[in-house]
């Protein structure tokens, strides 16, 4: 497993361009990576829709972002804001009906969408099926299928924005170098384990790491296929990345205790490092002039 941070040294938050007038959507925006990414995009001038399933946590995240925006020493560009949809509209990625309602509400709230960051993820403590239709394995439903459906719902708006003069629309799929775990287990060639829905839903070979690794592999495959399908859309790029390893709600799931001594300073440093990673995927001009295919930013290089 690769926990790489090397390539992040080449990108800083200051390389995120002036995003004034641009609109972003970030999933998992209530904490960890998603919260920090949302904050940095807003500080760079973007209007950011916070994709959250828990409205109370979303309200707390919005409060933190608003406080940062009120600090002139942190705000890099004017016009940024954090937008939280009404309490009756939550982004529950395992429920396609709720994903559709949330996406429709976003589309009715803005005429453009410049940045979509798909960063939400879960790691359940045990095998289970999503409690809502279509009742697939919960990790797979949330981390992969939910984002797949969300992108499909927002893609027309992304395409329309890409058609405007000077547009630079980005879709960022947050994956992880944990995908190397799939190769370690010899599962790369097992298409049933990776892609066959009945096999996935049966729980065969299920473990927290296996389930998470499968979804991250699917994130990478999805990003590459999406890039291929939108190849002809000038002004629209898809990137995927390993954001780094940092303390998050996932890290402390399933009864893991927080070591507050170790956590001091690490939360801020690693979470901001992850935000830099996403900022790099948004800001760098790597895709222009290098073809339209998705780039995977992981370890110490782009590939």
**Is 188 contained in some domain?**
yes
pTM for the full predicted model:
0.87
The two three-digit tokens of residue 174, written as one number: 């947050």
The two three-digit tokens of residue 284, written as one number: 């760098």
Give the structural domain span for 263: 6-296
**Is 301 contained in some domain?**
no
Cβ contacts of 82 within 8 Å, gap of 6 or more: 38, 39, 42, 48, 50, 61, 62, 65, 66, 69
Taking alpha carbons only, the member of 16, 14, 58, 13 closest to residue 34 is: 58
Q: What is the mean pLDDT of each run of 10 residues along the chain (303 residues)?
A: 42 84 96 91 96 96 98 95 94 95 98 96 90 87 96 98 94 81 59 76 85 89 91 90 65 48 52 72 56 58 48
The reported pLDDT for the residue numbered 297 is: 66
Angle at 121 between CA 126 and CA 285, to 5 degrees: 155
**Is 118 contained in some domain?**
yes
* Catalytic (active site) residue 212: yes
The reported pLDDT for the residue numbered 16 is: 86
The reported pLDDT for the residue numbered 29 is: 95
**Is 65 contained in some domain?**
yes
**Is 69 contained in some domain?**
yes
**Is 84 contained in some domain?**
yes
**Is 303 contained in some domain?**
no
Phi, psi (5° rounding) for residue 302?
A: -95, 140
Residue 142 sits in a domain whose CATH number is: 3.40.50.720
The reported pLDDT for the residue numbered 206 is: 86
**Is 55 contained in some domain?**
yes
Give the count of domains, the chain. Answer: 1
User: Annotated catalytic residue: which of 11, 140, 212, 296?
Assistant: 212
């Amino acid at each position: 497993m690769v926990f790489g941070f090397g390539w992040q040294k080449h990108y800083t938050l200051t390389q995120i361009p002036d995003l004034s007038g641009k609109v972003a959507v970030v999933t998992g925006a209530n904490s960890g990576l998603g919260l920090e990414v949302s904050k940095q995009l807003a500080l760079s001038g973007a209007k950011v829709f916070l994709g959250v399933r828990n409205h109370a946590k979303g309200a707390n995240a919005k409060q933190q972002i608003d406080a940062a925006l009120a600090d002139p020493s942190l705000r890099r560009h004017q016009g940024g804001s954090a937008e939280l949809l009404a309490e009756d509209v939550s982004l529950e990625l395992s429920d396609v009906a709720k994903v559709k309602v949330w996406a429709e509400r976003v589309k009715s709230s803005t005429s453009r969408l410049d940045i979509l960051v798909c960063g939400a993820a879960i790691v359940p403590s045990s095998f289970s099926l999503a409690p809502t239709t279509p009742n697939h394995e919960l990790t797979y439903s949330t981390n992969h299928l939910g984002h797949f459906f969300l992108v499909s719902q927002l893609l027309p708006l992304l395409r329309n924005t890409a058609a405007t003069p000077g547009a630079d629309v980005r879709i960022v799929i947050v994956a992880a170098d944990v995908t190397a775990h799939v190769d370690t287990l010899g599962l790369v060639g097992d298409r049933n384990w990776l892609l066959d829905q009945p096999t996935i839903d049966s729980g065969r070979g299920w473990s927290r790491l296996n389930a998470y690794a499968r979804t991250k592999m699917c994130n990478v495959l999805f990003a590459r296929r999406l890039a291929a399908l939108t190849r002809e859309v000038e002004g629209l790029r898809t990137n995927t990345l390993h954001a780094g390893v940092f303390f998050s709600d996932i890290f402390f799931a399933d009864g893991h205790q927080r070591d507050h001594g170790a956590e001091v300073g690490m939360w801020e440093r690693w979470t901001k490092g992850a935000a830099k990673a996403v900022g790099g995927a948004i800001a760098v001009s790597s895709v222009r002039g290098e073809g339209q295919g998705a780039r995977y930013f992981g370890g110490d290089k782009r590939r």
